[in-house]
Structure 1
Amino acid sequence: MSEHPAESGKKVYLQYAKILAVLATLTVTMIFIGESPLAQAPKVFLLLLGSCTKAMLIIFYFMHLRFEHKGLVLTVLVGIFVTSVLMFLVPAYDGGYILEHSLYK
């Protein structure tokens, strides 16, 4: 027999609460990583990894892409990837100006 709508709704809210708890935990962890005395390169890597993980959780659960057709999901993910690559390549194409005038020399 099928579930009652109230039971189904509770499962959905419970799933969102779990995702929210994971996002909050990742956020607090990232704050501690940012303030930690780690070297710059591992710190940046860990923060980028945490940010990507949080973005994927939001995209798949809160934007409901987990339940969409695979073609739509692939289109969105390819768009995000292309945009991310362009965000790094376009500034890098400025002839090295950013690298020459960096604050972290």
Structure 2
Amino acid sequence: NGINRANYTSASLKLVDAEVEKASEVLNNPEATKEEVEAAVSALTKAMAGLIANPVNTNVSEVKPGDTTVGVKTGDTTNMMYPLLGLAIASLGVYGSKKRRYR
């Protein structure tokens, strides 16, 4: 009951639904034999294994080896000026402190 129904075809879900109903009948039967329970589990497991996934969206383009397309813009707008300016100021601070030590 916890499967995401949107991921599977309706035809394969119908088979699972039918097996779930049969398994529920066995589950709710207090006089069910061990063989009936095992048969219901086996049939439900087989139906779950037979689920067919919905086709993947085919509108998505794939990058193939040898493509000469331009890379994808990620929206990264980091300005390198601020880190470089910080590094220059730190370097001046270190240089100035070393010069004072030698005086």
What's the TM-score once normalised by structure 1's chain length? 0.34
What's the TM-score once normalised by structure 2's chain length? 0.35
